[in-house]
Amino acid sequence: MKPILTLLLTLLMCKIGLTQTNNKLNAKIAELKEAGINTTVVYYKYCVGSKPRIQDPLMPCEVEKIRYLMWQQNGKSWVQRFDECKDHERQPMRTKLLDFTKARFKTIITDSIPAPEFEKNGINEEFEIVVKSSHYCDHVFLFKTDDREYMQAIYEPYIYKKSSHNRANTHYKHNMRSPLKTLVELIKKEPYINQF
């Protein structure tokens, strides 16, 4: 009985944390819309099997649900972190991620990074993924415009998988040219997002 109660309590706390994070995030998006900013990008990692990250050794709050909101205002790009532990101030972005997104938007929302397929005797053969780690993470981008919302979830190892057992990944060249690859590379270079 005790393990079931522990599991239920854990699930409830995760739900409460995500709700708090999303409420603060949605309030900021509404505030930006009132200021005439209708295009925003939300970024987060969707991880399976990883433990929550601790905010601070002196702070008894475990950070479970982290979201980053990015927007442009008065010619500058901004990013702000949202989590269930505390409020964070906006920070200037160091990369040209939002400029890149604006310039390649239609391609970004329609492109994909497919699972690897390998040629065998001229025939494509689907690649079966063997997970050797206890967790994985997707890079998730939500693009919010005036009237629509678009999502891209990118599993990074698919991008760089070139071959297996001397058989070429038929999607490798596409993945190397994909704007989604550039998006992942830019987000990884953003110091405010990657300092935690």
Whole-prediction pTM: 0.78
Q: Which amino acid makes up residue 94?
A: R
What confidence score (pLDDT) does residue 83 get? 86
What confidence score (pLDDT) does residue 124 get? 57
Q: What is the pLDDT of residues 129-143, one digit of tens each?
A: 444 445 677 899 999
- Decide if pLDDT at 149 tops 90: yes
Mean pLDDT of all residues in 92-109: 96
- Decide if pLDDT at 192 tops 70: yes
Secondary structure (DSSP) of 4-37: HHHHHHHHHHHHHHHHHHHHHHHHHHHHHHHTT-
Using the Cα atoms of residue 101, residue 28, residue 92 and residue 75 in order, give the sign of their dihedral. Answer: positive
- Output the six-digit token pair for 154: 């990118």
What confidence score (pLDDT) does residue 132 get? 46
Least confident of 3-12, 111-120, 132-141: 3-12
What confidence score (pLDDT) does residue 134 get? 52
What confidence score (pLDDT) does residue 15 get? 42
Contact 89, 78 (CB under 8 A): no
What confidence score (pLDDT) does residue 52 get? 52
What percentage of residues in the chain have a pLDDT greater than 70? 72
Q: What is the pLDDT of residues 31-90, one digit of tens each?
A: 999 999 999 999 998 877 765 554 555 555 666 678 999 999 999 999 999 988 888 999
- Decide if pLDDT at 161 tops 90: no
User: What does the alpha-carbon distance between residue 48 and residue 25 come to, in Å, rounded to a whole number?
Assistant: 22
Domain residue spans of the chain? 2-194
Over the chain, what is the mean pLDDT?
A: 80
The band of 12, judged by pLDDT with boundaries at 50, 70 and 90, is very low
